Structure 1
Amino acid sequence: MIDCDNKKINNLQLPQKDIEKERAALESFIKSDRTVRELKRAIAVRMAIKGKLYHEISKIWRVSKIFIGYWKKQFKTKGIAGIRLGHKGSKGALTSLHKTEVIEGLKNKEYWDFDEGVTYLEREFGVSHKSKQSYYELLSLAKIVWKKTQKIHPKSEPELVKKEGIN
């Protein structure tokens, strides 16, 4: 629980009943499973609310005074939502259902030509990746090795090893 008197926390300029609610929400937020960035923001805000000086908080957390003021203001205006990370990552090109369908299809087929796989994704799901890495990740999820292979391992034939100079 935040150990502060109402004068200090009221520098948030909230009605009395909202102060208690926000204090409890902040404590709950800090105790929950948060990212390091969110936790740093929340603890810096809590310290500022408790009356700790910005330059002390700045030294402890190695953040700027502007950082502290900014996140305190975000908390004041938006509550806990203001401290949360805003960026949630980009939306994948394939839905999880479609991705599962593609992976199962990859597993069920004996041989895939890379271009055939690209065409399949475009035709069936309207997905075209800019980078080959996205296709490689699908193959990896399907546990398919896409590296070039040889029919016979050269190390299994000692004469070929000597001839090729393979160690």
Structure 2
Amino acid sequence: MNNLQLQQKYMDKEIAELEYFIKSDIDARELKRAIAVRMAISGNIYHEISLTLDVSNFFIGYWKKQFKTKGIEGIKLGHKGSKGYLTALQNTEVIEWLKNKKYWNLDELVTYF
């Protein structure tokens, strides 16, 4: 295999990886990143991608670089939120308590726990 064939094989592998990620249940922001990267790797010019997805050229270049260096993990959302204050059991108890109320009062909820 020559160098050009190896590059094409690697590019096809990257596109397949992106396609699989795009078809999974992902956040809209991750989806836009993945589509932009896939289009860039496929040879679309940044200006076309920018107009199609309503993103900047910087956005495309940044997420393409993230993908090239970190793979799919590079385009996933980094922040997963903070840990909740209530345990799963406490959360269930609060929800059941609220279901049995005719009206909700925030002060009453605060003092409940």
Runs of 4+ in 1 over 6 A off after TM superposition: none
Kept in 1, the 8 Å contact 2:15–2:42? The answer is no
Instruction: Note the alpha carbon deviations across 1:71-114, whole angstroms, 9 max, x for none.
Output: 0011011100111112222221102122123445x3xxxxxxxx
Match of 2:79 in 1: 87
What is the aligned counterpart of 1:144 among 87, 96, 101? 101
Identity %: 63
Task: Judging by fraction of residues, say which structure has more helix.
Answer: 2
Whole-angstrom CA distance in 2 between matches of 1:147 and 1:36: 33
Residue 27 (structure 1) aligned with residue 19 (structure 2): yes
Match of 2:110 in 1: none
Map 1:1-167 to 2 at 5 A.
7=7, 16=10, 21-104=13-96, 106=97, 139=98, 142-146=99-103
How many residues align? The count is 101
Instruction: Note the alpha carbon deviations across 1:19-52, whole angstroms, 9 max, x for none.
Output: 5543322110011122221111101000100111
User: Residues 91 and 71 from structure 1, CA distance in 2 versus in 1: closer, same or farther, beyond 3 angstroms?
Assistant: same
Q: Which structure 2 segments of 5+ residues have no match?
A: 106-113
Name the SS for the 1:75 alignment partner.
helix
CA-based RMSD of the aligned residues comes to: 2.5
Q: Which structure 1 segments of 5+ residues have no match?
A: 11-15, 107-138, 149-167
TM-score (norm 1): 0.52
Greater relative contact order (Cα < 8 A, sep 6+): 2
